[in-house]
Chains A and B, each alone.
Chain A
């Protein structure tokens, strides 16, 4: 009886992890492509999981859908477009670069660029007689080393 309950419970509850053997394509190369595509597609009912990682039934449906499309001979881009046509950009974990998402993609680089420019301006604004305007000659450096000992 105990055995039966355990088996039932395991059968009823959701599976532990994502891709299951019975979904896989027999062709290893095609399956590999399916995995790569799946990693970039969001399980739309989950929180921040790709369909490759999710154990939700909908993620399974999408995995099967992706594999069907691959079996029909579609390219990776075509498969992705096929899914986006049904679920919108929301399904892509890597959002497309568009007007809306420009800030997302360019923002960090803008921070770097603006910060760099601000840093250079700040350096320039300070008194012009920065000490490195006249580097030491070798003779001066040797003299300095003699007086003060080596740098470390």
Chain B
């Protein structure tokens, strides 16, 4: 019965979305307030219906109702309840339902929190949002119905991939979806602006919180995904340049560019066309991300749905949405007013260069991901592969100038500035970083100069972030608590996010240069060393878990005189026969001790256990930085400027000279 209710609610929501796609738009064209108000009600109703549908599916998983095909195929009685519930979205059909749920919740958010929006703009945004909904609901209903029954119902279901039975899975996909789907809102804002032929500072201010609302969960999702891969996949890598990782990274890069260009549009009215273009691209890349996972065109460890037919449907959606939006952009962009002028050295210029570099970085990831596919299609005889060595060679040199710029940018004044003045502001961090870099090169030797540069860049970013706050807190009359208290949340957000980038950079630099590893066969009592670690295998035993059996090894790890006990397991899941490795990880600020066991193997001294020992210096900083970035975005989102009304269009007071004596003499 529940399955039918869920299915029915989903069909109803499609009908509501169809009406919402047409009526508010007509209302905006004819100035009909009732039709526009309908859009707001429809958006809330649609969210409610899809919530019911999703709730039904979740209860079905909770009750382990194996008469529903999806439940039977993706959960088993032996699975703990939280993982059975998480299995709701750990499969293609369920994750599509989650996708439309998130989409509808964002739509309801625009309806509910968009009171200060221009009414016609809000109506158009809701219509565009509903058009996306229609496409995805149709996709869910016609190609991947999650409520299909299975006759006869089996007694027990097939198990969820054990790799995915992990707290990481419970949050990773929903966070990514909040990010991907969040960019549908900015896409709708862009299309609505093109329809109205108007993208002014007020529009940018309305849109900015929605960019942040997508960017923050996407940042969290990518960070969590990286962390999950680190502790679950069994060999301690934290980023693999896997196509599916890239699929989430591209919208992040473009979203970051959008975040910054929208600031220029909000503050100065410039770059409106560019901001619109980025908003369209961010959502297109999110759709491509979905396409990558769904179509199986680039199968990888993440791809739990391999079905080209669905891929074709999503490909049609990408081409439809992106193509239409870009065509509208080409037609309407010349109509958009270009805002205030700015000098070659100015905050605006700095942010433009930031966008340029982020575009180039996106191009690296895009080409690296799709070039092999294109090559295979064009000349199948000459297939190529693109892997980490390519990205290290191209991505790293392009990101270095961007990282340098991140600290300079906030020091630049709007409209125009002078390089000498900026240099003077940056004298303290510059000297500190230069001294630190010199010391590191002397200490580590010239062989590690790349690592030293990376660590110095990290310090440069953290110091730059601190400088932003220091300058804000020290007024003309020196430091004052009043200035600390009145610091805008957006400024704190900027400092947090930029400092976070610094921590991530330092972590990556240390991991790429100072990591140590040792792979060997050990017997109880054996001692091995890797980098600063000394590891003793104490004993190994067999244990039974909830739905698996495992070989468990106990280690004692000592480093700089302190000792720690670590445990690593090899698990076999009894239903599917799948195996996983649970690594023993000793976490500290300086780095992680990582021990993972493998098979039983013979060596010269007889039988023993294969053990991998790693020392991962500063690796935690990579995720700590990601978390800080997300916190920065959240702080920025809390800024009260976004909650009070849109800025009034001032009659450019800057045009009025401050005093006649200031007009240049010549």
How far is it, in angstroms, between the C-alpha of A9 and the C-alpha of B52 when the chains are bound? 43
Partner of B394, one of A19, A24, A108, A135: A108
Given contacts A18-B235, A132-B344, 6 further A-B contacts (CB under 8 A): A48-B300, A94-B386, A130-B343, A131-B341, A132-B345, A143-B659
A86-134 contacts to B, CB under 8 A, are 88-95, 100-101, 103-105, 107-109, 111-112, 115-116, 119, 123, 126-127, 130-132, 134
Which residue, A48, A49, A111, A151, has most C-beta atoms of chain B within 10 A? Answer: A48
Query: Chain B contact residues (Cβ within 8 angstroms of A): what range?
Result: 35 or more
Chain B nearest Cβ from A116, distance in angstroms: 6
A3-21 contacts to B, CB under 8 A, are 3, 6-7, 9-11, 13-21
> At the interface, yes or no: B445 with Cβ under 8 Å from chain A?
no
25 residue pairs bridging A and B, Cβ less than 8 Å apart: A16-B598, A17-B581, A18-B235, A21-B601, A24-B519, A39-B389, A48-B240, A48-B242, A48-B243, A48-B298, A92-B384, A94-B386, A94-B389, A95-B386, A100-B379, A104-B368, A104-B371, A108-B363, A111-B363, A116-B356, A123-B344, A130-B341, A135-B418, A140-B664, A149-B476
How far is it, in angstroms, between the C-alpha of A108 and the C-alpha of B398 when the chains are bound? 9
B118 / chain A contacts, CB cutoff of 8 Å: none
> At the interface, yes or no: B512 with Cβ under 8 Å from chain A?
no
> At the interface, yes or no: B661 with Cβ under 8 Å from chain A?
yes
A17 and chain B: residue at smallest CB distance: B235
A20 touches B519 (CB 8 A): yes
> At the interface, yes or no: B12 with Cβ under 8 Å from chain A?
no
A100 touches B598 (CB 8 A): no
A73-90 contacts to B, CB under 8 A, are 88-90
Chain A nearest Cβ from B163, distance in angstroms: 12
A47 touches B343 (CB 8 A): no
> At the interface, yes or no: A27 with Cβ under 8 Å from chain B?
no
How far is it, in angstroms, between the C-alpha of A14 and the C-alpha of B185 when the chains are bound? 45
A93 touches B363 (CB 8 A): no
A21 touches B603 (CB 8 A): yes
B345 / chain A contacts, CB cutoff of 8 Å: 132
B645 / chain A contacts, CB cutoff of 8 Å: none
B387 touches A10 (CB 8 A): no
Chain B nearest Cβ from A126, distance in angstroms: 6
A40 and chain B: residue at smallest CB distance: B389
Partner of A100, one of B299, B384, B472: B384
How far is it, in angstroms, between the C-alpha of A45 and the C-alpha of B357 when the chains are bound? 35
Contact with A along B589-608 (1 / 0, CB 8 A): 00000001111111100000
Contact with A along B341-377 (1 / 0, CB 8 A): 1011110000011001101110110011001000100
Q: A22-B602, A115-B360, A140-B664 are in contact. Are A42 and B367 (CB under 8 A)?
A: no
A144 touches B658 (CB 8 A): yes
A130 / chain B contacts, CB cutoff of 8 Å: 341, 343-344
B388 touches A93 (CB 8 A): yes
Chain A nearest Cβ from B630, distance in angstroms: 26
A50 touches B375 (CB 8 A): no
Query: Chain A contact residues (Cβ within 8 angstroms of B): what range?
Result: 35 or more
B474 and chain A: residue at smallest CB distance: A152
How far is it, in angstroms, between the C-alpha of A119 and the C-alpha of B346 when the chains are bound? 14
B664 / chain A contacts, CB cutoff of 8 Å: 134, 136, 140
Contact with A along B373-410 (1 / 0, CB 8 A): 00100010011111111100110001000000000000
How far is it, in angstroms, between the C-alpha of A107 and the C-alpha of B395 when the chains are bound? 12
Chain B nearest Cβ from A114, distance in angstroms: 10
Interface residues of A (CB under 8 A from B): 2-3, 6-7, 9-11, 13-22, 24, 39-40, 42, 47-50, 53, 88-95, 100-101, 103-105, 107-109, 111-112, 115-116, 119, 123, 126-127, 130-132, 134-136, 140, 143-144, 147-152
A123 / chain B contacts, CB cutoff of 8 Å: 344
A109 and chain B: residue at smallest CB distance: B360
A93 and chain B: residue at smallest CB distance: B387
Which residue, B237, B519, B658, has most C-beta atoms of chain A within 10 A? Answer: B519
Partner of B398, one of A20, A112, A149: A112
B237 / chain A contacts, CB cutoff of 8 Å: 53
A115 touches B356 (CB 8 A): yes
B167 / chain A contacts, CB cutoff of 8 Å: none
B367 touches A103 (CB 8 A): yes
A147 touches B386 (CB 8 A): no
A127 / chain B contacts, CB cutoff of 8 Å: 341
B601 touches A101 (CB 8 A): no
A17 / chain B contacts, CB cutoff of 8 Å: 234-235, 581, 596, 598, 612
B610 touches A42 (CB 8 A): no
A10 touches B600 (CB 8 A): yes
B529-546 contacts to A, CB under 8 A, are 542
B390 touches A94 (CB 8 A): yes
Chain A nearest Cβ from B388, distance in angstroms: 6
B383 / chain A contacts, CB cutoff of 8 Å: 88-90
How far is it, in angstroms, between the C-alpha of A98 and the C-alpha of B382 when the chains are bound? 11
A134 touches B666 (CB 8 A): yes
B599 touches A100 (CB 8 A): no
How far is it, in angstroms, between the C-alpha of A2 and the C-alpha of B581 when the chains are bound? 20
How far is it, in angstroms, between the C-alpha of A79 and the C-alpha of B601 when the chains are bound? 28
> At the interface, yes or no: B205 with Cβ under 8 Å from chain A?
no
Contact with A along B604-620 (1 / 0, CB 8 A): 00000010100000000
Chain A nearest Cβ from B648, distance in angstroms: 22
A148 / chain B contacts, CB cutoff of 8 Å: 658
How far is it, in angstroms, between the C-alpha of A148 and the C-alpha of B657 when the chains are bound? 12
B602 / chain A contacts, CB cutoff of 8 Å: 22
How far is it, in angstroms, between the C-alpha of A53 and the C-alpha of B581 when the chains are bound? 14
Q: A15-B610, A92-B385, A126-B341 are in contact. Are A2 and B359 (CB under 8 A)?
A: no
Which residue, B345, B360, B542, B581, has most C-beta atoms of chain A within 10 A? Answer: B360
Q: A9-B572, A130-B341 are in contact. Are A16 and B581 (CB under 8 A)?
A: yes
A14 / chain B contacts, CB cutoff of 8 Å: 579
